[in-house]
A and B are shown apart, each in its own frame.
Chain A
Amino acid sequence: DQQVKQNSPSLSVQEGRISILNCDYTNSMFDYFLWYKKYPAEGPTFLISISSIKDKNEDGRFTVFLNKSAKHLSLHIVPSQPGDSAVYFCAASGFPYDKVIFGPGTSLSVIP
């Protein structure tokens, strides 16, 4: 039973345009969400997070939106750059926040 879903295995975007990566979760106990980026042959690296008390968190070109009623979050990358090409994992956690459940990932390709 997948508690965190990323229904698009891959996404292709032109350089300079917006990339939107989507994530859905099923467990209503999740109240903290994270995005990780992973390049080939490397471990995932933390990108941005959001707590359920917010509906938006921004960090430079990266913005995460949370819709609690729909159990949906999205990561927006504006403008997209070729170096953003990577696999993006959505992850979720709930109290006591020791377990983090990851989605299957979305592979983003930014075309120059």
Chain B
Amino acid sequence: DSGVTQTPKHLITATGQRVTLRCSPRSGDLSVYWYQQSLDQGLQFLIQYYNGEERAKGNILERFSAQQFPDLHSELNLSSLELGDSALYFCASSTRTSGIGNEQFFGPGTRLTVL
């Protein structure tokens, strides 16, 4: 158990809909990262937050947004969903925002299926 929790575990929705994925980092971790893993693909970095502020952005679509709240939990919002958005979404946390040795601890993921 990494200490990172993600809810829900599974989500099935229809095209055009909007969903919210939630992540609670390990106790004491200030950084939260979001990744997308599509079928047979590696982990694609989406976005990072540190102590409530956006710190780095990857290949995140404009239809997607995220935020980190004062209690450090984070939410990833996906809107106008398309079939291609079906994927595993992972949240990870780490103690620092940067620096060598910044290993990330991953949650179990949320599997999103768009029908």
Contact = CB atoms under 8 A, between A and B. Distances in A.
Nearest to B56: A98
Given A32-B100, A46-B104, A99 B109 contact: no
B106 A104 contact: no
A91 B108 CA distance: 19
Give the contact-size bracket for chain B: 20 to 34
A98 B98 contact: yes
- Of B4, B35, B103, B108, the most chain A CB neighbours within 10 A belong to B103
Interface residues of A, number: 28
Given A41-B108, A44-B106, A46-B103, A101 B4 contact: no
B55 interface: yes
B80 interface: no
Contacts of A9: 40
A89 B42 contact: yes
A99 B103 contact: no
Nearest to B45: A99
B24 interface: no
A6 B104 CA distance: 20
**8 residue pairs, one from A and one from B, having the closest CB atoms:** A43-B106, A104-B42, A102-B43, A96-B98, A98-B56, A98-B98, A46-B103, A97-B98
